[in-house]
Structure formats: C-alpha cells, structure tokens
Chain A
C-alpha cells in the first residue's frame, strides 16, 4: 500500500473560504443575543455546510442539509422562538470555566481522532477497498440505478430504511400527542406577554 497524498487543487482555496465563513457564523451565533438573528444565522450555517458537503462530493448529504437545515429547521426554530422569548438571557457567571474545559477537551479529542483518518479521496482507504468496492461493482448488475448511495439506501438495506422511517413517524406522532391538537395551529393560545410587545410587533425593529 503506497502513501496517498490528496492533490492540491485551486478548489482548496474555495474550501478554505467556506470553512472560515462557517467558523465566523458559529462565533456570531454565540455572540448575538437577538434570537431571530441567531435563527437566520443558523440558516446561513446550513447553506455553508451544504456547500462544503458538495465540495466533498457528498451531494446527497448536502441535499438533506439544505432541505432540513436551511428550510425546515429555520421555520421550526422560528416557531419555538415565537412561543418563548425574543432575546437570549445573559449567561450565568461561574459556569463558564467548566464548560470551556469540557469543550476544549472534546475538541482536542476529536482533532486527535482525525489524525488516524485516511486522506480525502484515498483509494486505499478502508471505505474504498473492502465492501465499498463490492457495491460499486455489483450495483449496475443487481439493480440498474446509477446512484450507488440510493441503491444501498433503498434496496440493499431497504428494510433498515423502512424501520428508520417508522421510528421518525412514531416520534412525530408522539410529539403531536404530547402537544395536543392546538399545536397544529401553531399554539396561538400561548402568548409571550412582555410589556411593549404589541406596539412594536409589526415594526420589525424589535427583532
């Protein structure tokens, strides 16, 4: 097995720009206190993540990220925000150091784990030699689908996928039963009673 080096292409610069924007968005989401801005920023974060997935050739993951992350979860988080408060409460002092240590340790462990990973696009990576190669070779004969990921998801492990769909459906039904029938209409009975809310409602400045 000879060593494999990821070829250095100009597209790397684009990746770097996308990743720095991702980091900037994450920090902005932490610093901004207006929750509506945070919701919009999380949509932007999803779009950037989807872009990066496309540049990693994971087109189907990018698809999901754009539909779920940028589309549905933005709206869901807006719903949650309207049911609670518009602004984040200031952080409780004293717990910051412990949280910081936990974050740093977890981050360091994740970085340490990436050292062992094969280079991007390495033909000798475990994912590309054993069973992956088998699927690539057999899919065109077994089922005539050009997309191998779709073939694995919907045919080779079709029952598994069906089970996943059932789990998601059960979770949705459970949440709906817990919230009651009123939740279907967006929970209009719950009001965020704060002084001055109604006057500034349609100005937009409040957010």
Chain B
C-alpha cells in the first residue's frame, strides 16, 4: 500500500515536471525538467520493483541515473561550447570572444 501511494505521488510529480517541459519559458527550465523527469523515472523504476515483488530492478534504476546524469552534462556542455567535442583552440577562441 505504501509503495502504491509513493508510485502515485511520483506520477503526479511526473505530470508537473512534464508541464514545465512543455511550458517552461527558458532553456534552463526545460533542461531541468528533462533531468528531473529522468530522476523520477529512476525512482518509479525502484518502486515498481517492490510493487511487483522483484526488487532486482534496482541496479537498472542505478544505470538510468548514470545515463541521465551523462546526458544532462552533455547537453549543458553543448550549450556552453556550441560543439560536441571542443578542441583546445575552440575553447581558447570562445574564451576570447567572451572577454571582448
């Protein structure tokens, strides 16, 4: 019963986060919404394992947490440097542009 209540609460939180991803006026609102939606997925995965009586899904939830983290870092890095794999020259040029 307790797990069902927790699952329901997470679903509600997911709906709210989803609304922020659709409405969110700025870029960072949306990145944050995507990231926290991933976190909610991880939580729901863990709870689903206990709901069905097989908590061995927990390590998959851990892997999702890792993927979510890496994806968010990649997106943020991308907006900082505007390229997927900046070379040292690119970085120097970006810093120079910033300074001007």
Contacts and interface: CB of A to CB of B under 8 A. Distances in A.
B85 A186 contact: yes
A25 B18 contact: yes
Given A40-B31, A41-B21, A71-B70, A188 B83 contact: yes
A78 B60 contact: no
A47 B67 CA distance: 11
Interface string A4-36: 000000110010011001001100100010001
A44 B34 CA distance: 6
Consensus secondary structure, chain A interface: helix
Give the bracket for the number of chain A residues in contact with chain B: 35 or more
Interface in B39-98: 41, 44-45, 48, 51-52, 57, 60, 63-64, 67-68, 70-71, 74-75, 78, 82-87, 90
Interface in B19-39: 21-22, 24-28, 30-31, 33-34, 37-38
A159 interface: no
Contacts of B52: 11
A50 B64 contact: yes
Contacts of B37: 43-44, 47
Interface in A153-207: 184-188, 203-207
B48 A54 contact: yes
A129 interface: no
Contact of A54 (B7, B11, B57, B74): B57
Contact of A40 (B33, B44, B51, B67): B33
A187 B15 CA distance: 37
B11 A17 contact: yes
A164 to B, nearest CB: 22
Nearest to A188: B83
Given A10-B51, A32-B22, A59-B57, 11 more contacts: A36-B30, A40-B34, A43-B38, A47-B37, A47-B64, A50-B41, A75-B71, A186-B83, A186-B86, A205-B27, A207-B30
Contacts of A187: 83
Nearest to B29: A204
A70 B68 contact: yes
A184 B33 CA distance: 29
The 3 A-B pairs of least Cβ separation, nearest first, read A186-B83, A204-B27, A207-B27
